Amino acid sequence: MLVYLTSAPETRPATVCMERQAVRRAREAFLSGRTRPVEFRLQQLHALQRMITEKETEISTALKQDINRSQYDTPLLELIGIENEIKLAISKLSEWAAPRSVERNLFTLKDEVYVQPEPLGVVLIIGAWNYPWAVTLQPLIGAIAAGNAAVVKPSELSECSSLLLRALLPRYLDKDLYPVVTGGVSETQDLLRLRFDHIFYTGNSTVAKQVMEAAARHLTPLTLELGGKSPCYIDKDCDIRVACRRVTWGKFVNCGQTCIAPDYILCEPCIQGRVVECIRQTLLEFYGADPKCSPDYGRIINQRHFIRILGLMEGYTPVIGGQSDASQRYIAPTVLKDVPPHSRLMQEEIFGPLLPIVTVSDMDDAIRFVNEREKPLALYIFSKDKKAAKRMIEETTSGGVTVNDVLMHYTLSSLPFGGVGQSGMGRYHGKHTFDQLSHHRACLIRSLGMESLNLSRYPPQDRQRARR
Ligand code: NAD
């Protein structure tokens, strides 16, 4: 049996040992073959579904403690999506896991030719804190469906969710196949020294480079679900009131800590004032006169991010919001207008409740603006003119795009979710996760008959010529 461990400095012997044992047990369980039958995978998926249904309140409470997430938002933003993915996997698994017939050529007309999806082995899932259940369980659903074992490493920053996940998963799923390893940077780095068959990382691009370096040491394939600055263009001819209501929701839900939140608005100067007023009106509808008192408005995950986000605002006078309270890590929903394209606010992903507006002269200028920057995870276009919106899609690139709304492409399991360039690599959701975490094995089954047809490919070639 292969031992998939490499030497590592024993700086934290006890924990390192536990992590190694968890990974070793997962591999041994995988090698036992028990994930191979589709029935086993279905049974695990049903158990995961039961966990979400039975523990919804505990999960919502953990997120309330982690980021003051509204109890109403957790089912809407995370749990319904996870449940839908499980249901889809359960209903389609036999089809996804079945051999896929492919075209034959002249020499293989009588043969069996197919692609067999098969498990990769042990997958390492490293999650971020902002949607800690979705970013760990959605890849896990695909890993289970594809017949893999998976080691789940949730983020230490969303501590309550992380500890709850560690307590719950072994109560519902096979204890050896799907261990949860908790901890921070050093625990993750220890895990990354070990050999896996796929690494599925969600988080920022700086750490992604380290994950990729670690994966390279073992030639491990990986999926990187990253972030970046997702632009939102609002055309002057659209229904600005509706556009702003949708943008305000997508930007300020989860306190702006959403990977595909619209990072900034691009619009013509003639509508900037109206955009600001519509957002102001919507914020009042959503969170009342003082968002700090609203049960629907979140908080920043930790002090480091709180200081970072306030730093981005330095030197600006917001047209909306700007208030903060360090004791609660509260930052009000904030809008900044006429933001210069090269300002600090426009250099890094905001990942907080600040919404800059940058003016452009028209849609062509907006297209240029987007194309001059890194490829974003999402692009949003608000326009009444479908042809113009499609032109903007054709002339730009991004991981995904939604026209006349925000975030919604994420909710469709049929659409591959993932980034491009600096916003990530690989894709998931629905069958895309299953495919991402499977090996697509090329299978050709020939018979030993009809050998005369094969003679032309055997040497010596002189004899072949003589025959012709
Ligand atoms: P984070 O700090 O929780 O880090 C993510 C994971 O990496 C954690 O499990 C953490 O323990 C581990 N980690 C952190 N530093 C490490 C290091 N030096 N070495 C090894 N492991 C390390 O989360 P984050 O990075 O702040 O997450 C926010 C980012 O994630 C944003 O850029 C956001 O856009 C992106 N994101 C992307 C998606 C997506 O689906 N594309 C979803 C959520 C978040």
Q: Are 347 and 256 in contact (CB under 8 A)?
A: no
DSSP bridge partners of 223: 200
Ligand 1 pocket mutation, candidates 77, 130, 193, criterion most atoms within 8 A of CB: 130
Q: Which residues line ligand 1 (CB under 6 A)?
A: 126-131, 135, 153, 155-157, 184-185, 188-189, 202-204, 207, 210, 225-227, 259, 349, 351, 377, 419, 424
Q: Are 332 and 321 in contact (CB under 8 A)?
A: yes
Q: Are 375 and 423 in contact (CB under 8 A)?
A: yes
- Catalytically annotated residues: 225, 259
**Ligand 1 centre and the CA of 206: distance in Å?**
9
Q: Which two tokens stand for residue 354?
A: 């600040």
Structural Rg of the chain based on CA atoms: 25
Among protein residues, the one whose CA lies closest to atom 12 of ligand 1: 185
Ligand 1 pocket mutation, candidates 136, 196, 200, 207, criterion most atoms within 8 A of CB: 207
Among protein residues, the one whose CA lies closest to atom 23 of ligand 1: 128
The 10s digit of each residue's pLDDT in 323-357 is 999 999 999 999 999 999 999 999 999 999 999 99
Q: Which atom of ligand 1 is nearest to the CA of 423?
A: 41
* Helical pair 205-217 and 185-193, crossing angle rounded to 10 deg: 30
**Ligand 1 centre and the CA of 128: distance in Å?**
4
- Cα–Cα distance measured from residue 184 to residue 118, given in angstroms and rounded to the nearest whole number: 32
- Cα–Cα distance measured from residue 341 to residue 357, given in angstroms and rounded to the nearest whole number: 10
Non-local CB neighbours of 166 within 8 Å, separated by 6+ positions: 154, 180, 182
Among protein residues, the one whose CA lies closest to atom 24 of ligand 1: 203
**Ligand 1 centre and the CA of 64: distance in Å?**
20
- Cα–Cα distance measured from residue 428 to residue 77, given in angstroms and rounded to the nearest whole number: 17
Q: Are 130 and 421 in contact (CB under 8 A)?
A: no
Non-local CB neighbours of 449 within 8 Å, separated by 6+ positions: none
Provide the pLDDT for residue 267.
98
Provide the pLDDT for residue 466.
62
- Cα–Cα distance measured from residue 423 to residue 432, given in angstroms and rounded to the nearest whole number: 18
Provide the pLDDT for residue 19.
87
Q: Which two tokens stand for residue 220?
A: 């491990």
Provide the pLDDT for residue 463.
65
Residue 91 burial (10 A CB sphere; 0-12, 13-18, 19+): exposed
Provide the pLDDT for residue 3.
34
Cα separation values, 168 from 56, 162, 165, 286, 346, Å = 12, 10, 5, 34, 40
Residue 260 burial (10 A CB sphere; 0-12, 13-18, 19+): buried
**Ligand 1 centre and the CA of 308: distance in Å?**
16
- Please list the ranges in the chain whose pLDDT falls under 70: 1-14, 463-468
**Ligand 1 centre and the CA of 446: distance in Å?**
48
* Cis amide prior to 460 (ω within 30 degrees): yes
- Cα–Cα distance measured from residue 398 to residue 386, given in angstroms and rounded to the nearest whole number: 18
Provide the pLDDT for residue 10.
46
Provide the pLDDT for residue 429.
98
Q: Is 401 left (phi over 0), alpha (psi -120 to 50) or beta?
A: beta
Q: Which atom of ligand 1 is nearest to the CA of 127?
A: 9
- Tell me the whole-structure pTM to 2 decimals: 0.95
Q: Which of 255, 340, 348, 336 is nearest to 308 (CA)?
A: 348
- Quote the ipTM score: 0.98
Non-local CB neighbours of 192 within 8 Å, separated by 6+ positions: 124, 199, 210, 211, 214, 215
Give counts: helices (H), strands (E), the chain. 16, 16
The 10s digit of each residue's pLDDT in 428-467 is 999 999 999 999 999 999 999 888 888 888 998 776 666 6
